[in-house]
Amino acid sequence: MAVLNAVKETRLALIVALGGMLAGVMPGQTADEYQVKAAYMYNFAKFVDWPAEVFDSPAQPLVFCVLGPTPLSRVLGETLAGKMLDRRPLVYRPLTDSSQAAKCQVLFIGFPDKSRLRQTLDEVKSFHVLTVGEREDFTAEGGIVRFVMDAGRVRLEFNLDAADDAKLRVSAKLLGLAKVVRRAGK
Residue 67 sits in a domain of what CATH number? 3.40.50
Residues 6 or more apart whose CB falls under 8 angstroms from that of 2 comprise none
Q: Where are the alpha helices (DSSP H) in 20-159?
A: 30-47, 72-80, 114-124
Q: What is the pLDDT of residue 112?
A: 77
pLDDT at 9 over 80: no
* 73 within a domain of the structure (yes/no): yes
pLDDT at 62 over 90: yes
Residues 6 or more apart whose CB falls under 8 angstroms from that of 122 comprise 142
pLDDT at 24 over 60: no
* 186 within a domain of the structure (yes/no): no
Instruction: Domain count for the chain, please give it.
Output: 1
Best mean pLDDT range from 2-6, 145-149, 176-180: 145-149
- 3-state secondary structure at position 81: coil
Q: What is the pLDDT of residue 184?
A: 52
Question: What range defines the domain where residue 160 resides?
Answer: 2-181
Q: What is the pLDDT of residue 124?
A: 92
CA–CA dist 181, 159 (Å, integer): 5
pLDDT digits (tens, 9 = 90+) for 101-138: 999 999 999 877 788 888 999 999 889 999 999 999 99
Q: 124 and 101 in contact (C-beta within 8 Å)?
A: yes
| φ/ψ of residue 162, rounded to 5 | -65, -40
What's the mean per-residue pLDDT of the chain? 83
Q: What is the pLDDT of residue 37?
A: 95
Give the residues across from 130 on adjacent strands: 106
